[in-house]
Amino acid sequence: MFDGSGDTAARIAKAYARLPAVPIDVSLLQNITSVAAPSARVAVVPARFAWLDAGSWEAMAELWGTDARGNALRGDAIAIDSSGCIAYAGERMIVLVGATDLVVVDAGDAVLVCPRTAAQDVRSVQAELKRRRLDRFL
């Protein structure tokens, strides 16, 4: 898929952006297990290490850790009289005042704000952006 030109990181990012947003168990493992043996085999190996499925913003609280009020903050983010919030400040500062259980993400060209209970629903944003022909934000 690479043409051999340009910055490697940029080429990888471009290729990654074209991949479908499908969980690995659906995209890879289900396909492998449907192939007749001995062509494809899947093995499960027990392991003793911590694992966190960081597939949503909700998981960031556990990954990043939280302050005394349960806020998980990254970048230039400040929480005043706020609790249970997750904030990722990219290019801009994020200030939460009196907020409860919000996810706020500065993605550079867009800002996401949603209740933590809807953190899994952000996947619907991609479909809505496509429907509105706002591909520049994908």
**Other beta carbons less than 10 A from residue 97's beta carbon:** 9
Q: Answer for the pair 87, 94: CB distance below 8 angstroms, yes or no.
A: yes
Residue ranges of domains in the chain, CATH in brackets: 8-137 (3.90.550.10)
Model pLDDT for residues 95-120, shown as the tens digit of each residue: 999 999 999 999 888 899 999 998 88
Is pTM beyond 0.85? Reply is no
